[in-house]
Amino acid sequence: MTLVELLVSMAIFTILVSVVMGGVVIMSRNTVRTDMTVAASDGVRTAFQRMDRQVRYAEAINFPGSGADGRRYVEFRVGATVSANGKAMCTQWRWDPTTGRVERRSWEDKPSPSIPGFSTIVSDVQAPLSGGADPYPFRMVKATDANPRQRLVMRLRVGDPSFTRTVESESEFVARNSSKNSLTNNDSVSAGVSDIPVCMAGGRP
């Protein structure tokens, strides 16, 4: 093999290696994107399952509201007669736009309760692409004559901020033990704020 032939062979080999490596990089990126999408879908499913198991037995849901640093909160109460442990229980969910986490905590509804810390349900929860008229990610729908049960709407947009792909969901949960007479159903004093809220012992930190 002459020197010219050797140089040509090396050039061809270099081009082939570049093409192959380019394909490997693209495949790796696609794999990472797929993994991130699967993780986001799992997070959305987990949040749905946890919320569904808890709020379906609620007798009262607060109008959601804001706390420190723009965090969004919602609370609901499950009566002792339908609670799994036979005790009246409070549950609070919150979304922290800074950390991107949706978290929850529960405690017994009694005088001077012991308030636990929050546990993370799903991470990488991003703000909606457009603000819209509805509060995010929680919204309480009042009980009426036409719809006699309170409902909680939860919207989530989940995905790693470093990637463009996100998983979006909107779920509506019916509080089976609520009614028009639920303490939290009226907001006549201030629109969007329950006149008589429940489960506020832990505040909205």
- pLDDT of 185 strictly over 70: yes
**16-56 pLDDT, tens digit each:** 655 555 554 455 454 455 555 677 889 899 999 999 999 99
In this prediction, residue 41 carries a pLDDT of 86
- For residue 28, the model assigns a pLDDT of 47
Q: What is the pTM of this model?
A: 0.82
pLDDT in tens, 142-178: 999 999 999 999 999 998 877 778 899 999 999 999 9
Of residues 79 and 31, the one with the higher pLDDT is 79
Q: Does the pLDDT value for residue 101 go beyond 70?
A: yes
Residue 173: Cβ-neighbour burial (10 angstroms; 0-12, 13-18, 19+): buried
The whole-number pLDDT of residue 39 equals 75
68: which DSSP letter? G
Structure tokens at 33: 């994107």
pLDDT at 161: 79
Output the pLDDT for position 4. 59
Can you list the positions of beta strands (E) in 26-118?
60-61, 65-66, 72-78, 89-96, 101-108
Percent of the chain topping pLDDT 90: 70
Q: What is the domain extent for residue 144? A: 1-205
How many domains are contained in the chain? Answer: 1
CA-only gyration radius of the chain, Å:
25
Residues whose CB is less than 8 angstroms from the CB of residue 26 and which lie 6 or more positions away in sequence, other chains included:
none
pLDDT of residue 34: 55
User: From the CB of residue 106, how many other CB atoms can be counted at a distance below 10 Å?
Assistant: 17
**Mean pLDDT for all residues in the chain:** 87
Q: Which pLDDT belongs to residue 163?
A: 75
